[in-house]
Amino acid sequence: MVAPEITAIIPVFNDRPALERAIPESLKVLSTITENFEVIVAEDGSSDGSTEFVRQYETISSHVKLLHSDIRQGRGKALNRAIRTAQGSIVCYYDVDLATDMKHLPELIDAVRKGADISTGSRLLPKSDIRRTEGREIASRSYNFLVRHILGSRLFDHQCGFKAFNKTRIIRVLPTIRSNHWFWDTELLVRAQRLGYTVDEFPVRWRAGSGTTVRVKDVFGMGSSILRLWWQIHVSKN
C-alpha cells in the first residue's frame, strides 16, 4: 500500500453537524490534489455522536480515519497526537466549520511542496477577504499586534485554523510546545520562526462559522499566554 503524501487533520469537539459537511468536502478537494491522502478526524472527547458518525464514515471511505480520545485533551494536545500519528509527508489541518474557503487548500499544500516548512492562511493581509463582527475583528487585530511586538513574530495572523507543515520538520517543534488549547497555533509559529523555519503566509477568504467556540473574551484571555511564552523564551530559556 502506498503511503499517503498528504494527511489532513480535522480537530473536533462536539461538532457532529459540521462534520457532515467537512468530511465529504475534504474528500472532494483532496482528491483533486493527490490520489494518496488520508483524513484524520482528531475527535477530542465528544459526546454528541461525532465519534459514531466518523466510525460510520470509515466504512464508506478508506481515506477517513478516526483518532478518538475518551477524555478531553484540549485542542493543542489533540493536534500534537494527530500530527505524530499522520502518515503523510505533508500534514495540514483546518477547522471543522470550514471557515477558510477550501479553494485555498491546493495553495496551502503547494507552498510546502515547494519547500516551505510551514504554510498558513491569513485573515489579516491586505488581500484577505473576511467577514466577522467588528468586535471579533478588533480583538483579533489587537491580539496579533501583541504577538508581533512582544514575541517578535513576522507574521500577521497566528490563529487562523488553516495550516500545513513539512512533517519531518514540524515534529521537531512539537516537544517544545506547552499550550494544550487555543494558544497552540501561536506558540508553534513563534517557536518555529525562532528555529529559522520558513513560513509562507498568504491571504484567504474566511467566514466566521456559526458554531465557533472562540469568543472575544477568549482572545483577550490569551494575553497572559503571550507574556508566559515571552518569559519561557527570554528568561527561563525553555
What is the rounded distance in angstroms from the CA atom of residue 30 to the CA atom of residue 105? 8
Grid coordinates representing 54 are 466518523
Q: Would you state the pLDDT for residue 138?
A: 87
Indicate the residue type of 198: T
Active-site position among 117, 185, 200, 218: 185
- Please write the tens of the pLDDT for every residue from 122-178: 999 999 999 998 888 888 899 999 999 999 999 999 999 999 999 999 999 999 999
What is the rounded distance in angstroms from the CA atom of residue 230 to the CA atom of residue 53? 41
- Please write the tens of the pLDDT for every residue from 73-115: 999 999 999 999 999 999 999 999 999 999 999 999 999 999 9
Collapsed DSSP state (helix, strand, coil) of residue 100: strand
User: Which runs of E-coded beta strand occur in the chain?
Assistant: 6-12, 37-44, 64-69, 90-94, 118-122, 129-131, 162-166, 199-203, 205-207
Please tell me the CATH code under which domain 6-234 is placed. 3.90.550.10
What is the rounded distance in angstroms from the CA atom of residue 33 to the CA atom of residue 36? 9
Q: Would you state the pLDDT for residue 219?
A: 57
- Whether 223 has a pLDDT exceeding 50, the answer reads yes
Whole-model pTM: value is: 0.93
- Please write the tens of the pLDDT for every residue from 32-86: 999 999 999 999 999 999 999 999 999 999 999 999 999 999 999 999 999 999 9
- Please write the tens of the pLDDT for every residue from 185-216: 999 999 999 999 999 999 999 998 765 545 55
Using CA atoms, how far residue 218 sits from 75, 110, 181, 221, in Å, is 14, 32, 11, 5
**Between β-strands 6-12 and 90-94, what pairing exists: parallel, antiparallel or unpaired?**
parallel
CB-CB contact of 151 with 192 (8 Å):
no
What is the rounded distance in angstroms from the CA atom of residue 182 to the CA atom of residue 225? 10
CB-CB contact of 190 with 229 (8 Å):
yes
What is the rounded distance in angstroms from the CA atom of residue 191 to the CA atom of residue 223? 17
- The length of the chain in residues reads 238
Q: What is the mean pLDDT of residues 22-39?
A: 98
Active site residue 185: yes
| Widest Cα–Cα separation across the chain | 52
Angle at 66 between CA 63 and CA 97, to 5 degrees: 85
Q: Would you state the pLDDT for residue 213?
A: 47
Indicate the residue type of 46: S
CB-CB contact of 17 with 46 (8 Å):
no
Sorted by where each begins, the domain ranges of the chain are 6-234
What is the rounded distance in angstroms from the CA atom of residue 204 to the CA atom of residue 18? 20
